[in-house]
Amino acid sequence: MGTLDEIEAGELEENKSRLRSLIPGYEYGRKEKRTETDRALRDKVVREIDKAKSNLDEVSDMAYDDGRRDVVDGVGGVTDSLLRLEKKVESGPTSGLLNGAHTASEEDLVRLVENDAKLVRDSEVLAEAADRLEEAVLEGRTEEIEKRLRELRKTADDIERAFEDRKDLLSGL
């Protein structure tokens, strides 16, 4: 039984469909589309990181105006993490599958699609978490602020791990 047979019915197609709706032209199966697909995916993730950073800038300004140095410091740490993450995502891999040096099995492509779907989901969660942090600061909910900062740090770490896994997948293919 192949990897495709082991995936829950429709899950792969659902991931591909979602990725194609968010990233026009998403396709690793054809060699001539791989670099373009990689760039488009990384651009999508960076846009979501930018949304989160923009919200965090607003949150930091609000917290500063309210004298909430603890929130400003927490937001600063998350923003620093996002800046590092953004640089990693922007640089991206340039070898393996992307330069046509390797062919990819169906199993490899399935793993790549699953990883890419997770990257996009997590990057969207990151932007949403920054929105929720902004709401918590506006409403002065201290416990919620700490919870949202932890959520942002964890999600940024998840994205970084998924991106490293993706780089390994691409270079190993």
What are the Cα distances from residue 77, in Å, to 37, 40, 125, 150?
31, 28, 18, 11
Give CA–CA dist 32/16, Å, rounded: 18
- pLDDT tens digit sequence for 83-139: 999 998 988 765 555 555 556 677 777 888 888 899 999 999 999 999 999 999 988
Amino acid 13 reads: E
pLDDT over 50 (residue 4): no
Residue ranges of domains in the chain: 3-172
Check residue 8 and report its DSSP letter.
P
Give CA–CA dist 68/119, Å, rounded: 32
pLDDT over 50 (residue 32): yes
Q: Any residues with CB less than 8 A from the CB of 163 and at least 6 apart, and which?
A: 45, 85, 88, 89, 119
What is the CA angle 146-164-160, rounded to 5?
15
102 φ/ψ angles, rounded to the nearest 5 degrees: -125, 155
Amino acid 75 reads: V
Contact 7, 14 (CB under 8 A): no
- pLDDT tens digit sequence for 77-93: 999 999 999 998 988 76
Q: Which of 17, 47, 48, 23 is nearest to 37 (CA)?
A: 23
